[in-house]
Chain A
Amino acid sequence: MTEQTPPPPTTGCRTAPVLKQRGQREVFCGLTGIIWLHRKIQDAFFLVVGSRTCAHLLQSAAGVMIFAEPRFGTAILEESDLAGLNDAHAELDRTVEQLLARRPDIRQLFLVGSCPSEVIKLDLSRAAERLTQQFAPKVRVLEYSGSGIETTFTQGEDACLAAMVPVLPSSDTRELLVVGALPDVVEDQMLGLLADLGVGPVRVLPAHRIDDEVGIGPNTVFALTQPFLGETHAALERRGARHIAAPFPFGEEGTTAWLAAIAAAFDVPEETFTRVTEAPRRRARAAIAQAAAPLRNKSVFFFPDSQLEVPLARFLTRECAMSAVEVGMPYIHDAIHGPDLDLLPQGPQISEGQDVDLQLDRCRAARPDLTVCGLGLANPLEAEGLSTKWAIELVFTPVHFYEQAGDLASLFARPLRRKAILSPRVEAAE
């Protein structure tokens, strides 16, 4: 490692005791993944089979009408649909026909299960098979669950990608598959780095269009760019693909470790690796050093939200010199989060799941300098004098890889800088 990054801790947090409490949770459900997936997969439409609440959630989560014609919608269940399931299937067929007539450009249709459709046991996999037969070869119909009784926030992307894995064609080619939806600019940077390392061929999941999809098989190796892809990880392994375990590519250290694990799997010579990564590493370290100045020696508290908490806590503690008070995750998956937990120095309380009232009590008692939480808690905590960072921005903003490392640090620094700008003047006015 470099001079700037501390050596790995002798004992990380992988074996630290995990606090598990269950009670009220303050998280989005997996349906919200649609908000970014429908932009990422450009010939797909996401049809939630659910209630008015689901439609309202998507609208609210999309910031109330960002897009003129989103490629998602809701088939709202009505009282008549709840009476008999045969009815509901006929209704669904009718709705899908209506939708595909309106949007002839759609090539992939995802039927997305919701809490009500699961409670009434509406069989969407049967519906997807039936509709695929009806609309093949033009449209492929898949289904997954984004329901709040099954999934939280980013787990929706996991469920979506996992649903795509079984229908990918078979292939024996040795290829690297990079898994996880990234902003296009970040994806291009990543592909550039891998190309410079001589790693290839490289494919991405999700692909922009159905025609860009590639085969998968025992010679496929895959790396995850997002720490919430547990189901997809399992589905790929079932197809015989092999996972390259690594810390996630956040910050200079995470990106280097992630690339190094892939380089090792593809026998990239040491000097090539150094030559390719040297300049961007230097840039990333400089950018972090500048952006993270307000974060030094400050404490941070993570509410569980996006599953990015462990890798981000690793980044903030090791590269931005913060101390973590609590790192809450919706759920922990050892094979995926282990490498980051290994690097996270012991100290913070690791918690899984949530009882939000009890967690708020701990947060208030600790009075952290920065609290990372969802939108439902941010303003109330600000009103109590705590500085907060909306977790949602970490999902929607380009934060991966070297060139974004400084931006990532500044996302966390901004609430503190803002407070520093505002409070003296407010106090002076009082």
Chain B
Amino acid sequence: MKLTVWTYEGPPHVGAMRVATGMKGLHYVLHAPQGDTYADLLFTMIERRDHRPPVTYTTFQARDLGSDTAGLFKKACQDAYDRFRPEAIIVGASCTAELIQDDPGGLAETMGLPIPVIPLELPSYQRKENFGADETFFQIVRHLARPMERTARVSCNLLGPTALGFRHRDDVAEITNLLYELGIEVNVTAPMGATPSDIARMGQAHFNVLLYPETGEQAARYCERTFGQPYTKVVPIGTGATHDFIAEVRALSGSDAPLDTNRLRQTWWSASVDSTYLTGKRVFIFGDGSHVLTAARIARDEMGFEVAGMGCYNREFARPVRALARAYGLEALITDDYLEVERTVEALQPEMILGTQMERHIGKRLGIPCAVISAPVHVQDFPARYSPQMGFEGANVIFDTWVHPLVMGLEEHLLHMFREDFEFNDAAGPSHHGGHAPAVRLHPEPASAAAQAHMDHADREQPVAGGEVIWLDRAERELKKIPFFVRGKARRNTESYAAERGLREISLDTLYEAKAHFAR
């Protein structure tokens, strides 16, 4: 048993729904109790889809358990076929139905439906959402894709985009355009937008572009093995990665078509004088493996930040994330425990978090600005405007997104100067971004004396490291004069300076000695 407050990934059948909902002409018959239909609203509300997910739930109830739930499944399956006439059906069980062991795959296969029926084995008590999507897409490709003659012109498939994906909609458009400029046609984009018959002709492509390893890697490997289609390894998020991706595509396709990079503003924006304030800002990066790997490179090499920590929630990507973290001189945090991430951020006191909606929340509590780089998604991650993460436009979008939560160039200095101004001061936060007021109370409602004591500790802006070093009054007051967006760093540096020297107390002198010591 694992105590969970918030969770990064849903269950594996939600991953399967992301595949089914992204596709057309496919239907998912899901053996599940009535409460599981909540998943529909992820698509209709968070993603604002204008149609219901193509999912039929058996919605069994307690009174059905003693009787014929298998019969209920077969009826739901037949009704779904009769009503929706899909080209293919995927069948599976959610966590509760898995326990009653009806074997939906076997049952559906005996029904003699005149279309392909693809059984899914998604172990709910071991695996999670990304696995569910990856495995479902792989099974669909394995059942439907056939070897075919290659297209006359060089073409590729785009693999991995799903419904409810973080900016998948716009990434696909951006990369499709990029490939078009390189003279390469997109044969099939899947699962998003593909029909089962599109999947059948995936073998026509010369190679595959794997956009999202989390949801498409098994299928990409299968196509490489079965159809001899190599696939791209670089995820084109960030300027450097996009250039590497283009080089990889040129090597796979032989394309030497010139590319127009006029639209790429990120590099000049980063180099422009206003961006000096970004230098060495300490960032903590957390999200899904692929987005974290690409974000780390952008943060250090394209924005000039210092990566203070990184990690991912999907254990499948632990290995590359650990390796990259080591290359950055860090130890990666691999966990799906929201509370552990929070403790790490609290200890690190970064100046910015690049994270998910969860970290945005952690940041709000700790008074640390946060930009969202990865799923899990929120309604805010489906903006009306065009907003890719991939390609050159994606690099531009990322620059804006990451810079926005920070106090900007001149403003940083003005805040210093007008610290006493009644409406323009550090407690008010960045003037352009009313969002993050520093240090919110941790537990809003006191209840008992014990809780009160707990809160008093938690209410301090940052905890004293190890509880051993004591801030003397004057030093503490001086610390408060430092603007909030560097205060965390100053506190942390001073404490580590004191700890290294075996000092038990921090005086005003210690504060300034530490400042001199860390001066760059």
Contacts and interface: CB of A to CB of B under 8 A. Distances in A.
A91 B37 contact: no
Contacts of B42: 60
B125 A79 contact: yes
Interface string A29-56: 1111000000000110000010111011
B6 A119 contact: no
A420 interface: no
Interface stretch (A92-100, A181-189, A191-199, A274-282): A92-100
A76 B6 CA distance: 11
B373 to A, nearest CB: 16
A22 to B, nearest CB: 9
B74 interface: no
B440 interface: yes
Given A57-B38, A377-B44, A379-B50, A149 B7 contact: no
A306 interface: no
Contacts of A99: 3
Given A55-B4, A88-B1, A376 B364 contact: no
A69 B6 CA distance: 10
Contacts of B57: 24-25
Interface in B138-197: none
Given A56-B14, A79-B126, A376-B41, A64 B357 contact: yes
A65 B41 CA distance: 16
B347 interface: no
B33 A43 contact: no
A404 interface: no
A24 B65 contact: no
A49 B1 CA distance: 9
A383 B358 CA distance: 31
A104 B448 contact: yes
A75 B3 contact: yes
A215 interface: no
A348 interface: no
B5 interface: yes
Interface string B422-446: 0000000000000000001011111
Contacts of B265: none
A65 B361 contact: yes
Interface string B58-81: 111110010000000000100100
A55 B260 CA distance: 47
A150 B65 CA distance: 11
Interface stretch (B91-99, B240-248, B296-304, B403-411): B91-99
B2 interface: yes
Given A51-B11, A105-B448, A378-B44, A64 B124 contact: no
Nearest to B443: A69
B10 A25 contact: no
A248 B471 CA distance: 59
B378 interface: yes
B125 A64 contact: no
B225 interface: no
Interface residues of B, number: 70
Interface in B102-144: 123-126, 128
Contact of B61 (A26, A28, A43, A149): A149
A378 B51 CA distance: 9
Chain B interface helix/strand/loop/mixed? mixed
A375 B52 CA distance: 10
Given A51-B11, A376-B37, A70 B5 contact: yes
B35 interface: yes
B96 A51 contact: yes
Given A24-B57, A51-B95, A152 B34 contact: yes
Contacts of A32: 38
A91 to B, nearest CB: 4
Given A56-B7, A148-B34, A375-B44, A105 B454 contact: yes
A25 B42 CA distance: 16
A68 interface: yes
Given A53-B95, A79-B125, A64 B38 contact: no
Nearest to A209: B447
Q: Which of A43, A73, A105 has the most CB of B within 10 A?
A: A105
Contact of B10 (A31, A53, A81): A53
Contacts of B10: 52-53, 56
A92 B83 CA distance: 44
Interface string A330-365: 000000000000000000000000000100000000
A374 interface: yes
Given A25-B59, A51-B124, A149-B34, A116 B96 contact: yes
A79 B12 CA distance: 14
B34 A29 contact: yes
Contact of B96 (A55, A149, A209, A375): A149
B388 interface: no
A357 B83 contact: yes
A81 B1 contact: yes
A118 interface: yes
Contact of B450 (A104, A374, A376, A377): A104
B452 to A, nearest CB: 9
A119 B96 contact: yes
B492 interface: no
Interface in A97-124: 98-99, 104-107, 115-116, 118-120
A76 B4 contact: yes
Nearest to B377: A64
B125 A82 contact: yes
Q: Which of A56, A60, A82 has the most CB of B within 10 A?
A: A56
A132 interface: no
A379 B49 contact: yes
Nearest to B124: A51
Q: Which of A61, A106, A376, A380 has the most CB of B within 10 A?
A: A376
A24 B41 contact: no
Contacts of A190: none
A169 interface: no
B99 A61 contact: no
B40 A26 contact: yes
Interface string A246-281: 000000000000000000000000000000000000
B323 interface: no
Given A43-B447, A105-B443, A149-B96, A61 B44 contact: no
B1 A147 contact: no
A284 interface: no
B34 A65 contact: no
Contacts of B2: 75-76, 78, 95
Nearest to A375: B41
A73 B450 contact: no
Q: Which of B65, B76, B124 has the most CB of A within 10 A?
A: B124
Given A74-B7, A380-B52, 13 more contacts: A32-B38, A52-B124, A55-B4, A56-B11, A57-B38, A68-B365, A104-B450, A105-B454, A115-B95, A119-B65, A149-B62, A376-B41, A377-B44
Interface of A: 23-32, 42-43, 49, 51-53, 55-57, 59-61, 64-65, 68-70, 73-79, 81-82, 88, 91-92, 94-95, 98-99, 104-107, 115-116, 118-120, 147-150, 152, 209, 357, 374-380, 382-383
Interface of B: 1-7, 9-11, 13-14, 33-42, 44-46, 48-52, 56-62, 65, 76, 79, 83, 94-96, 99-100, 123-126, 128, 357-358, 361, 364-365, 376, 378-379, 440, 442-448, 450-451, 454
24 contacts: A23-B79, A25-B37, A27-B35, A51-B125, A52-B11, A52-B124, A53-B96, A56-B14, A59-B7, A69-B443, A70-B5, A73-B4, A75-B1, A81-B125, A105-B445, A105-B451, A116-B95, A119-B99, A120-B99, A150-B62, A357-B79, A378-B44, A379-B48, A383-B51
7 closest Cβ pairs, A-B complex = A148-B35, A29-B35, A105-B451, A383-B50, A376-B40, A115-B96, A105-B447
